[in-house]
């Protein structure tokens, strides 16, 4: 039997999938040929979703830690423990002592019932910011009033496409056919990235990590000084131009070349591109905003697009994300039930937990793996073990689950009816229930319903998954979207798409594009000479192609297992006398890990690259190396503002 569903992994594409079920098991998956974005092929990650669902190591019963080991317990026992632990804090009005740690490990809409539950408790302590895109998102809001995103099929109208810090071959495969079509139609495709990417491009400009904002302002200075900006657009649609122009005056060509490491020819090429090619589309990668100056980096690129009139035009503009579905889907979390709230920023989560007053007495983890994905793992573990009771919802004994006291099994995408939407395209999708969970396991919807009932939350009305979906879709009726229509069609496009400010009406206080007018935290991060001498390499902890963050690294199909690969340039390998697969130690101010060498000219000689996500249980978690530090805005995490050194393991 065949079913149509959608991948809920939190990546760009939210692929539409045709799955085959035999004897109650999903046995095959193909991309939906009729979907306008998926176009019949899938990335490697979805096969791992199937493998995870049927892994012999998957958790299907609650686990309780006793001393240092876990034992299986009944669902009733798990509910009794949770009712006692949470109910006591609820009865005392001390729910701020509960920290609900969640992110976006799944994009399934009903996964957000966790937020509904904790809001119905009266509010708890929550994370603020983002492990993913927070600084850049805030930058978009400051400049335009909201993030903005074109559509893939509109790229055929572009004269130039800049993949700024983005590697679609790794993170965004379904963009590739659209880039090919745009290139065949005459668009120049440029990659600005410290790393070489495999996409067929016209030019690759390799710059030093963290200097993207300086480069953007350097290009802007050249255009302004030569009068090669769009004066009419600036006059009509932009404010703060004079202040922005003064900001760029200190950006000399010499400074740009020295600090970014690009050639004079590359700088001239980019200046000419922005001066004489229009429309230009910039497709942002999120790595470029994972620095302390990450927000201002995005604002600098936004400003470059604005002064050249490349905003709100077909085939052009900034492409970061879009907010169109978000206003319609707030009902499930019942934010109005909160009577108290407290927030801990993701970039300094460990320190916040340790310094909390009132102290954290219970941590409840959903949709995330903070002991792997949050910065400064050693400090995070200290914070975790300082809290009396920890609960994690997950598929496996992950780093975080292993450090918890109670583990609740997670539901697979195939086992629960749901809906999903993406912030990177404009389609809302329906997901049918395809198979039943194993061994009488409760679904997460059933879990939250039952926990709310046992604690006595009258404001959390138990419903079936379908009833929650129908409730969620109610605000979409004015757009002509109902449950019946969505289920019948499988997916629908937002009728107001795309969100590109093509009407020239921006959501800022002024109604115009508000250019950056201050220096903020700086245009690039400088390091003192002593630190740079001890740690001479920039460390980039990039996304892997076959995994999503820490998901899937434990599966049998994992190519490298849980040991991270440490990618270095051939000259770096020669300097340290390292060969492929040699064991190497990577050190930073914060900590050290070991991994296996991969020699590649894809990386710069001044850079070390480790794919993030390897499990720390096996000594490989890269965030042992990353510090806790807040960025210039948006409380994103500056994962890439790290210096390191390497040495062979004897």
* Residues 291-315, mean pLDDT to the nearest whole number: 97
Residue 484: band (very low, low, confident or very high) from pLDDT cuts 50, 70, 90 = very high
* Residues 150-165, mean pLDDT to the nearest whole number: 97
* Residues 393-408, mean pLDDT to the nearest whole number: 97
* Residues 607-628, mean pLDDT to the nearest whole number: 88
Residue 560: band (very low, low, confident or very high) from pLDDT cuts 50, 70, 90 = low
Neighbours of 365 (CB within 10 A): 28
pLDDT tens digits, residue range 15-70?
A: 999 999 999 999 999 999 999 999 999 998 999 999 999 999 999 999 999 988 99
Residue 562: band (very low, low, confident or very high) from pLDDT cuts 50, 70, 90 = low
* Residues 260-280, mean pLDDT to the nearest whole number: 98
Which residues, 6 or more positions from 283, have their beta carbon under 8 angstroms from its beta carbon?
161, 162, 163, 164, 166, 168, 175, 319
pLDDT tens digits, residue range 192-216?
A: 999 999 887 889 999 999 999 999 9
d(CA 556, CA 58) in angstroms, rounded, equals: 12
Q: What is the pLDDT of residue 1?
A: 93
Q: Are strands 583-587 and 643-648 parallel, antiparallel or unpaired?
A: antiparallel
d(CA 565, CA 558) in angstroms, rounded, equals: 12
Cα pseudo-dihedral 503, 508, 514, 518, rounded to 10:
-160
Q: Which residue, among 607, 520, 542, has the nearest Cα to 207 in the 3D structure?
A: 607
Q: Which residue, among 127, 120, 122, has the nearest Cα to 99 in the 3D structure?
A: 127
* Residues 556-578, mean pLDDT to the nearest whole number: 87
Exposed/middle/buried for residue 339 (C-beta within 10 Å: 0-12, 13-18, 19+): exposed
Which tokens go with 75?
A: 């669902």
Which residues, 6 or more positions from 410, have their beta carbon under 8 angstroms from its beta carbon?
59, 393, 394, 395, 444
* Residues 524-549, mean pLDDT to the nearest whole number: 83
pLDDT tens digits, residue range 370-392?
A: 999 999 999 999 999 999 999 99
Cis peptide before 498 (omega within 30 of 0): yes
In the predicted model, what is the mean pLDDT of the chain? 94
Domains of the chain are 2-53 (3.30.200.210), 63-131+341-493 (3.40.50.740), 134-320 (3.40.228.10), 529-648 (2.40.40.20)
What's the chain's length in residues?
Answer: 650
* Residues 609-632, mean pLDDT to the nearest whole number: 89
Flag whether pLDDT at 222 surpasses 80. Answer: yes
d(CA 640, CA 14) in angstroms, rounded, equals: 26
Which residues, 6 or more positions from 310, have their beta carbon under 8 angstroms from its beta carbon?
274, 278, 279, 280, 281, 282, 316, 317
d(CA 444, CA 119) in angstroms, rounded, equals: 17
Beta carbons of 145 and 152 less than 8 angstroms apart: no
Opening angle at CA 193, ends 181 and 141, nearest 5: 85
User: Model-level pTM?
Assistant: 0.96
Neighbours of 456 (CB within 10 A): 11
Which tokens go with 198?
A: 């495999």
Q: What is the pLDDT of residue 526?
A: 62
Flag whether pLDDT at 7 surpasses 60. Answer: yes
What's 281's DSSP letter? E
Beta carbons of 609 and 554 less than 8 angstroms apart: no
Flag whether pLDDT at 518 surpasses 80. Answer: no
Flag whether pLDDT at 524 surpasses 70. Answer: no
Q: What is the pLDDT of residue 219?
A: 98
Q: How far is CA 315 from CA 106, 198, 502, in A?
A: 31, 23, 11
Flag whether pLDDT at 521 surpasses 90. Answer: no
d(CA 349, CA 343) in angstroms, rounded, equals: 10
pLDDT tens digits, residue range 330-373?
A: 888 998 999 999 999 999 999 999 999 999 999 999 999 999 99
Q: What is the pLDDT of residue 530?
A: 65
Flag whether pLDDT at 101 surpasses 90. Answer: yes
Beta carbons of 114 and 366 less than 8 angstroms apart: yes
Q: Are strands 98-102 and 427-431 parallel, antiparallel or unpaired?
A: unpaired
Q: Which residue, among 627, 546, 556, 553, has the nearest Cα to 589 in the 3D structure?
A: 627
* Residues 243-262, mean pLDDT to the nearest whole number: 95
Q: What is the pLDDT of residue 615?
A: 87
* Residues 429-442, mean pLDDT to the nearest whole number: 95
Please state the φ and ψ torsions of residue 584, each to the nearest 5 degrees. Answer: -135, 145
Q: What is the pLDDT of residue 105?
A: 86
Q: What is the pLDDT of residue 237?
A: 98
Beta carbons of 475 and 109 less than 8 angstroms apart: no
Q: What is the pLDDT of residue 201?
A: 80
Q: What is the pLDDT of residue 437?
A: 95
Alpha carbon 191 to its chain centroid, in Å, reads 20
* Residues 153-173, mean pLDDT to the nearest whole number: 96
Q: What is the pLDDT of residue 563?
A: 75
Q: What is the pLDDT of residue 342?
A: 98
Q: What is the pLDDT of residue 532?
A: 75
């Amino acid at each position: 039997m065949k079913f149509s569903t959608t991948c809920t992994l939190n990546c760009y594409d939210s692929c539409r999938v045709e799955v085959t079920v035999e004897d109650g098991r999903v046995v095959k998956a193909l991309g939906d040929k009729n979907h306008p974005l998926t176009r019949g092929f899938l990335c490697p990650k979805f096969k791992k979703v199937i493998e995870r669902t049927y892994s012999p190591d998957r958790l299907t019963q609650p686990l309780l830690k006793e001393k240092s080991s876990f034992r299986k317990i009944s669902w009733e026992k798990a509910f009794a423990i949770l009712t006692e632990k949470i109910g006591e804090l609820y009865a005392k009005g001390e729910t701020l002592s509960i920290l609900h740690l969640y992110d976006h490990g799944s994009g399934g809409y009903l996964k957000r019932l966790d937020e509904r539950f904790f809001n119905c408790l009266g509010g708890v302590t929550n994370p603020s910011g983002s492990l993913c895109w927070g600084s850049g998102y805030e930058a978009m809001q400051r400049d335009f009033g909201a993030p903005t995103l074109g559509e893939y099929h509109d790229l055929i109208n572009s004269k130039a496409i800049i993949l700024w810090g983005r590697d679609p071959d790794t993170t965004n495969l379904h963009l590739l056919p659209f880039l090919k079509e745009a290139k065949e139609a005459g668009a120049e495709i440029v990659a600005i990235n410290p790393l070489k990417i495999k996409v067929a491009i016209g030019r690759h400009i390799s710059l030093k990590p963290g200097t993207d904002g300086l480069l953007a302002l350097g290009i802007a200075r050249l255009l302004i000084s030569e009068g090669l900006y769009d004066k009419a657009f600036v006059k009509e649609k932009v404010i703060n131009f004079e202040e922005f122009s003064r900001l760029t005056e200190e950006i000399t060509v010499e400074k740009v070349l020295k600090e970014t490491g690009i050639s004079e020819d590359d700088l001239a090429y980019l200046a000419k591109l922005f001066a004489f090619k229009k429309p230009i589309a910039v497709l942002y990668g999120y790595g470029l905003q994972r620095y302390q100056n990450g927000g201002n980096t995005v604002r600098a690129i936004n400003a470059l697009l604005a002064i050249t009139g490349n905003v709100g035009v077909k085939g052009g503009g900034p492409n970061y994300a879009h907010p169109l579905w978000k206003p319609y889907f707030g009902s499930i979390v019942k934010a109005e039930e909160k009577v108290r709230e407290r927030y801990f920023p993701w970039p300094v989560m460990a320190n916040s937990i340790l310094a909390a007053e009132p102290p954290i007495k219970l941590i409840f983890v959903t949709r995330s793996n903070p002991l792997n994905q949050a910065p400064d793992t050693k400090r995070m573990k200290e914070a975790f073990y300082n809290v009396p009771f920890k609960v994690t919802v997950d598929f496996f004994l992950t780093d975080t689950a292993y450090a918890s006291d109670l583990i609740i099994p997670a539901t697979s995408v195939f086992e629960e009816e749901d809906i999903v939407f993406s912030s990177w395209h404009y389609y809302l999708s329906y997901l049918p229930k395809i198979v039943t969970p194993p061994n009488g396991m409760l679904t997460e919807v059933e879990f939250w319903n039952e926990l709310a009932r046992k604690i006595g939350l009258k404001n959390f009305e138990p419903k079936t998954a379908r009833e929650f979906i129908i409730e969620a879709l109610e605000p979409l009726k004015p757009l002509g979207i109902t449950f019946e229509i969505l289920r019948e069609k499988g997916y629908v496009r937002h009728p107001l798409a795309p969100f590109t400010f093509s009407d020239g009406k921006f959501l800022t206080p002024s109604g115009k594009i508000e250019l950056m007018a201050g220096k903020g935290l700086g245009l690039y991060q400088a390091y003192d000479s002593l630190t740079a001498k001890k740690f001479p390499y920039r460390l980039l902890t990039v996304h892997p192609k076959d995994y999503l963050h820490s998901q899937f690294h434990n599966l049998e199909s994992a190519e490298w297992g849980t040991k991270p690969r440490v990618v270095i340039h051939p000259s770096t390998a020669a300097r340290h006398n390292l060969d492929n697969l040699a064991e190497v130690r990577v050190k930073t101010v914060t900590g050290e890990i070991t991994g296996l060498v991969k020699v590649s000219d894809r990386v710069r000689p001044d850079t070390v690259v480790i794919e993030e996500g390897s499990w720390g249980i096996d000594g490989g978690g890269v965030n042992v190396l990353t510090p806790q530090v807040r960025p210039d805005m948006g409380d994103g995490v500056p994962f890439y503002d790290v210096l390191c050194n390497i040495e062979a393991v004897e």
